[in-house]
Structure 1
Amino acid sequence: MRTLAVLPSRFQATRFPGKPLAPIAGRPMIQWVFEAARRAPGVDRVVVATDDDRIALAVRGFGGEAVMTDPALPSGTDRTAAALEALGESFDCVLNIQGDEPAMHPETVAAVVALMRDQPDLPMGTAACPFASPDELFNPNAVKVVVDDRKRALYFSRSPIPYLRNSSVFEPDFRPWMKPEQLAHFKRHLGLYAYRPDTLKAFTRLAPHPLEQLEMLEQLRALAAGIPIGVAETPYLSLGVDVPGDVAAAEALLRERGLAR
């Protein structure tokens, strides 16, 4: 299976302009994501899809490959599809790894690639990891996913799902009584997607779905259209950087793994 990893990366992020070039432990954020993708077993080529010459210059400066895409594209998925078309090569699987995930682990990327390789009928894949503590369940930026017995996504939400009906888990003082086995039912979605090329093209032609617009979660467009999404489980947390205040947590996670000082 020939796999392309695309890292969508735009300069004009509303809450964090210039985010891909923000220094994370001494390197541009996008470099961390690029190097993680390049180290992942099963990935054949890695490119950054960007709309800004400054990002492209930085990527080429650390030895990476950049593909210029239209600034008007509405999402990272559209940018991923545009990069695939611009390359003009044949791939069996296309990864969309969000460029603001500096702590994305190569083994997480590899797990998603393996999922797509082992299930050739699967049109889409993604990844999820455990929650470290009950407090994280109430962070709307920590997206939750519920899966079926085949490890395929049933739903994604910013709210804590599943709901524990016979528990005080959603009361303000629930934390001292939550059992570890209850926390294990919650899975944290990570910012990584895999597509078959035809699925990627079909997805970008779909109109945004009302559920997607309510939760601001693009993957709900696929589920609403009946596109199955397999979920690879990984032990490795990856933290998205949305605002400057998120940098410290990402650096701490990289230090914990011995990748940064």
Structure 2
Amino acid sequence: MSHVIFIPARYASQRFPGKPLQALTGATGVTKSLIERSWLAARAVSGVDGVYVLTDDERIAEPCRAFGAEVLMTPDTCRNGTERCAAAVPLLDEEPDIVVNLQGDAPLTPPHYVEALVAAMTADPDIVMATPVLRTDRDHLEKLRADRKANRVGGTTAVFAASRDALYFSKEVLPFYDNAPDDAVPVFHHVGCYAYRPSALRQYAALPEGRLERREGLEQLRFLEHGVPVRCVEVEARGRSFWELNNPSDVPLIEDIMKREGIA
């Protein structure tokens, strides 16, 4: 099956304007932008037929072309990355079987997370959309809870059924955890990466924005609000740390992880 990776990137973020161009210094002291590091993460995924940056702003497009990325210019009316992916599919010469949306603020996404999504959708043709979830350990959970206590919009958690289809995604830490022991119901960090069939993207673009989607600021909730199942694929850390760049305060955290894990 053919699959491509799209990296949606917009300049006009309300919480962090110009975020894709944020400089990040790696283990060797080399500084690269957030969007370039996300592009490098996408290129490390095996079996990919193409990696494209999607944007509506030349302030992002120009530096992306400079470091070698293929750029697809999408409308400035796209309200989120999934709408941007839907707009980009018709710009390709051939429609792929699977479209992966690797968020431009997640340069620490390991290749095997994306590969797990593609494998799940290849094995089960009934899955129209899939997303990775990572079981938190105590340290990871405390980082999520610290963001909420500080009233920062940070990581997202996922709750899913026995079928592995999502029940809900939230910026709150769900399920309620308090001081539960480590063997209690686990908290899963939703990794900001999606895989869709093109038909699901077309359906999404035709649906109205959902109330929960708008309240949480989570694009995937539009699928759930309209009865479209989202399969959660549990992935393993394999010694890698995961965190997204949601706020300026995440920059030193991500740089520390890159240095600790030897990411150049």
The reply to whether TM is greater than 0.5 is yes
Q: Deviations over 1:26-57 (max 9, x none)?
A: 11111111111111123221100011223222
From 67, 72, 79, give the equivalent of 2:77.
72
RMSD, aligned α-carbons: 1.7
> Structure 1: which 4+ aligned runs deviate by more than 4 Å?
none
Q: How does 1:141-156 map to 2 (within 5 A)?
A: 141-156=154-169
The aligned residue for residue 166 of structure 1 is none
* Equivalent in the alignment of 1:179: 181
- What does residue 127 of structure 1 align with? 132
> In the superposition, relative to structure 1, how do residues 15 and 161 fare at CA in structure 2: closer, same or farther (>3 Å)?
closer
Gaps spanning 5+ residues in structure 2: where? 26-30, 149-153
- Is 2:120 the partner of 1:115? yes
Distance 1:215-1:13 versus aligned 2 partners, 3 A rule: closer
The code of the aligned residue for 1:86 comes to: L
Q: How many residues align?
A: 248
Using the TM superposition, name which of 112-121 and 237-246 deviates more. Answer: 237-246
% identical aligned pairs: 37
CA distance in 1 between partners of 2:234 and 2:21 (Å): 29
Contact between 2:134 and 2:188, CA under 8 Å: does it hold in 1?
Answer: yes
Q: TM-score with structure 1 length normalisation?
A: 0.89
Q: Match for residue 21 of structure 1?
A: 21
Q: Deviations over 1:52-98 (max 9, x none)?
A: 22322211222211111122221111111111111242200111111
The aligned counterpart of 2:28 is none
Give unpaired runs (5+ residues) of structure 1: 164-168
Amino acid at match of 1:243: N
Q: State whether structure 2 residue 253 is matched by structure 1 residue 246.
A: no
SS of the residue corresponding to residue 208 of structure 1 reads coil
Deviates more, 1:215-224 or 1:135-144: 135-144
Q: Which position in structure 1 is the counterpart of 2:6?
A: 6
Question: Structure 1 CA distance, aligned partners of 2:161 and 2:143?
Answer: 22
